Structure 1
Amino acid sequence: MKCSFITAIVILIGLVSGLVGAGQAIAQSAPVEVARSLGGASLKGTASARLWGKKLYDAELWTASGGTFDQREPFALTLRYAHAFSADLLARTSVKEIVRVEGGRLSDHGALEQRLRRCLVDVAKGVRVTGVSQGPDRASLFVNGRKTCTLTYPRLRDRFFGIWLAPTSRDARSASRLKGHS
């Protein structure tokens, strides 16, 4: 009987800690570039990307309102990197993922890859990169709160942010969690 009571207490403490942690994530304040871009930003969801068990980054989706996520409304996606990656690798991988998500050929997106190479920077552990959607064909990129560029490209919102948010993204469960679905 004593073991069962102790086990129940440990489980209860774990549940309460998890709920407190979840509340903190929801109440966390938006990065400065998100707050400036969206006004009263609301954290919609979070997810982490892993490859072979190794964390690559943590992602947060921010919206201008607390309602259901609508990709046509203003939003920002923030990635906090857990490892170093070169700007070239980030640009090349982004275009490969766009092609994987929507179909087509790599050669169809050479101009986008070049624009991404000019916008992105080499990242190290802890670097925060934020993309802010500014309509169907436009987005601004920020690194640790500093604007690096504004991109324009046909269907950029769906293509670029689709890497993380499309139902056909590499991790559909994470895409769903980012959009606020369990």
Structure 2
Amino acid sequence: MYSVVGCRECHALWIVEGRPETTQCPRCRRRHQFSKLRAFAETDAADDAARVRSSMLAERADDGEFVDPEAIDIDGVGMDDVEYLSASGLDPEAVSAAGERAERGTRSSQSRKQTVLDGLAELDAPTEADVVEYANAAGVPESAVERILEKLRRAGEVTRTDGVYRRL
């Protein structure tokens, strides 16, 4: 079931799925008890609820016309990223730094395990040191390579004979 509800503070309309204990206004972020909100409409399908909400918003506009989106002033509505992260208990600078590190990333977006497997496939008679060197070039730390090789060996995906790894 989907309900079209409205905020008592900022008069925003939004759609709520099911019957949660509380819900939060998407515009002003105020939390409301769902049972105390007025449900303007209840439908079984999300599309129907979206149509009801759209028609209610259209009725709010002057003379039954739709509001020109460029005429809407959205400055100051809601939180910006820094406020949101701070309110969530996260350090915005640390999040930004982590994002930059992730964008620099490795040469590809493959997993550490796949990097180790690629090293085993590409190297001739790969020893642990060879695989570590190969994976380090792709940004995989030595401790992770050793752990992955051991897991692969225990799982029976690779074998080690005289220090040389081979895929099975």
TM-score category by the smaller chain?
under 0.3
Query: What TM-score results when the alignment is normalised by the length of structure 2?
Result: 0.24
Query: What TM-score results when the alignment is normalised by the length of structure 1?
Result: 0.22
Q: Which has the larger radius of gyration?
A: 2
